[in-house]
Structure 1
C-alpha cells in the first residue's frame, strides 16, 4: 500500500513537472515570435517626380488673327451693248486667258455696220486718188479735192466708231482666271451694263484681316506670315503681307491688312475662314517652361523645382506664350531643375524622388 502511494506520487510529480516545462517552452516561443517592437510610423512621405533642366531657348511672340479668303481678281463682266446673246464660248469652271473672247452680243448686226463703214472709207480713199490725179492735171479745182479729203476723214471716223461698236459686242476676259458663274444664256436679250459672266482668279488668294492698333506697329509690307485655313487645319500656307491700311476703321480701331498666298492648285477657295499668324518679335534667349508645369493657386503663379531631393516652390512672372510653352521673366534661372510631372502632389519642402 505504501509502495503504491509512493509510485503514484512520483507519477503525479512527473506530470506536474512536464506541465511546468511545457508552459515555460510556450512562454519562450511567445517572446521570440510575438513581442516584436513597433516600427516608427512618422517617416517623411516621398513623391516620385520628373524634372527638366531649365535652359534658354528662342521664343517667338506670335499674334493669331482671323481673316477671310478672297480671290485675287473678281470681276462681274457686263454687256457693253444691248442686244441678243449670240454665242457663249465658255462654261462655268473653265480657265480663261487675258483677252479671250467669252461671249458675243449682237455681233452680226455690228459686223454689218462695220463692213458698211469699211466700204465707205475704201470708196473715199479711191475717189481721193483719182481726184488727186485730176487736180495735178488741172482738171478739177482745189476746192473739189478738199471735199473728197474731208469725206475720207469723216469716213475714217465712222469706220473707227463702227469698229468700237463691234468690239463692244465681244466680251473679253480682262485677265487670267476661272469662270465662276454664267448669268445669261444664248438667245437672251441683255441690256447695256447687265452682268453676264462672273470671273475669278484664285491662283493667288488675298486674306483680309483686321489688326489691332497695338499690334500693327510690329507689321511691315513684304513681311512673311503663316496662314492656316480652317478647312485644311493640318496644313500651313506661306503668305506675304501685301498691304497695311494707313487709316484705322473708326468703329473697331483696327487696320485692314492684306496677306497674299500663292494658290496655283486652287486648294483655298474664296470665302473660307483663315487664321493668320504674325510674328511680332523674336526673343533669342528666353527662359521658358511647359504651360502644364505652372500652377495657379488663388491668382498666385507657382512652379516647383527640385533641390537636394526636396521640392521648393517659386513664385514666377510670365511673359510671351507660344503654343504649349510660356516665358518666365522672373523666378527661374537657367540650370534650375523644374518639376514637370508630379508637381501637383508636392508642397514646399516635400521630399521627392527623381525618376
Structure 2
C-alpha cells in the first residue's frame, strides 16, 4: 500500500545548464550579435563591447607604468655594472618591471577580447543590456541556456518531508498526454519558502520529454509505503486528541484498541500496531460506542 501526494511546481534551468556572460572590464555595449532566443554554437559571439574611456585611460596608465618600470630596471643594471647599486636593488627593479608588465598585458588581453562568446552550444536565454549602455566590470550582460536535462522544482509541505520515499522518484505527466514518466529526485530543501511556506523538492527532467524551462508541472510522490501490512477500512479509524484507535468486536463486545496508523490509499489504511489479521473492527457507528459496550453486528 502506498500513500501519494500531488505536488505543483515549474521547470527551471539548473546551474549546470546555464552560462553567464559578464563584462571583463568597464565597457560600452557596441552591438548585440545574437538576440535573445537565438541558437548559438560554442565560441559564437553574442555581445560586442567597447572599452570605456575610463578603461582606456587605465590601460594607458598601466602601459606607461610598465615602460617606466622597464626603464628603471635597465638603469639599475647599468648602475650595478658600475658598482653604484647592490644586487638587491637590481632584483627589486626587475620584480617591479615584471609586475607592471604583467598587469599591462592582462588589461590589454581583457580590452582586446571584448566580444563575449558562448562557452557552449545552446540558445541565448536573456540579454540585459542595450547598445550604448555602460556596464561595470563583472556585470552580467547575457545568459546562455545549454541544451540538456532540466530541473523541476515542486512545493512540498515541510511536515511531509520526513515521510517522503525518495527512491520512488516523482511521477509527472508528459506534454500532450501519453504514459506518465518517473523522474529521479535530486534533493529536498526542508526549509520553508517565506512566500509559499512550502519546502522545495528538486527532480531531474530529461530533455527527451519535450518539456521547456518555465513550464508549470504537476507531480506525484510517494509519502509512505506498507507491504504485507494489516489493513482496515479507513472508515473504521477513529481519533481522540491525536491518538488513532478502533473498536474490535470480540464475542459481541466492543473493545477500544489504540493503533499506530501507516500508509493510506484513501479507502484503506495500514495499521502498524494495534490490530491483527482476523480481528473484527467496527466500520460504522464507532463514534457512538464505548469500551466494553455490547454490540450486534450485521
TM range (shorter): 0.5 to 0.7
Q: 2:14 aligns with which of 34, 52, 72?
A: 72
Larger of the two Rg values belongs to structure = 1
Task: For 1:222 and 1:161, locate their aligned partners in 2 and report how far apart those are by CA, in whole Å.
Answer: 50
Check if 1:206 corresponds to 2:151: yes
Query: Residues 232 and 119 of structure 1: is their aligned pair in 2 closer, same or farther, counting only changes over 3 Å?
Result: farther
Residue 62 (structure 1) shift: 2.4
Query: Residues 245 and 170 of structure 1: is their aligned pair in 2 closer, same or farther, counting only changes over 3 Å?
Result: same
SS of equivalent residue, structure 2 residue 202: strand
Q: Which residue is equivalent to 2:215?
A: 272
Contact 1:95 1:177 in 2 (8 A): yes
Query: Residues 133 and 206 of structure 1: is their aligned pair in 2 closer, same or farther, counting only changes over 3 Å?
Result: same
Query: Residues 235 and 95 of structure 1: is their aligned pair in 2 closer, same or farther, counting only changes over 3 Å?
Result: farther
Residue 179 (structure 1) shift: 0.8
Contact 1:71 1:270 in 2 (8 A): yes
Higher relative contact order (CA 8 A, sep 6+): 1
Q: 2:190 aligns with which of 222, 231, 246?
A: 246
Contact 2:230 2:270 in 1 (8 A): yes
Check if 1:61 corresponds to 2:6: no
Structure 2, unaligned runs of 5 or more: 232-262, 272-276, 278-298
Q: How many residues align?
A: 236
Q: 2:49 aligns with which of 105, 110, 117?
A: 105
Task: For 1:248 and 1:196, locate their aligned partners in 2 and report how far apart those are by CA, in whole Å.
Answer: 32
Check if 1:255 corresponds to 2:170: no
Q: 1:190 aligns with which of 134, 152, 163?
A: 134
Query: Residues 329 and 107 of structure 1: is their aligned pair in 2 closer, same or farther, counting only changes over 3 Å?
Result: closer
Contact 1:203 1:262 in 2 (8 A): yes
Correspondence 1:25-36 to 2 at 5 A? none
Residue 222 (structure 1) shift: 6.4
TM-score by length of 2: 0.57
Q: Which residue is equivalent to 2:100?
A: 155
Task: For 2:196 and 2:47, locate their aligned partners in 1 and report how far apart those are by CA, in whole Å.
Answer: 43
Correspondence 1:218-237 to 2 at 5 A? 218-219=163-164, 224-229=169-174, 231-237=175-181
Contact 1:203 1:266 in 2 (8 A): no
Residue 273 (structure 1) shift: 1.6
Task: For 2:73 and 2:165, locate their aligned partners in 1 and report how far apart those are by CA, in whole Å.
Answer: 65
Query: Residues 103 and 220 of structure 1: is their aligned pair in 2 closer, same or farther, counting only changes over 3 Å?
Result: farther
Task: For 1:287 and 1:198, locate their aligned partners in 2 and report how far apart those are by CA, in whole Å.
Answer: 55
Task: For 1:81 and 1:155, locate their aligned partners in 2 and report how far apart those are by CA, in whole Å.
Answer: 18
Residue 83 (structure 1) shift: 3.6
Correspondence 1:43-62 to 2 at 5 A? 59-62=1-4
Residue 64 (structure 1) shift: 2.1
Residue 175 (structure 1) shift: 6.7
Q: 2:28 aligns with which of 60, 76, 84?
A: 84
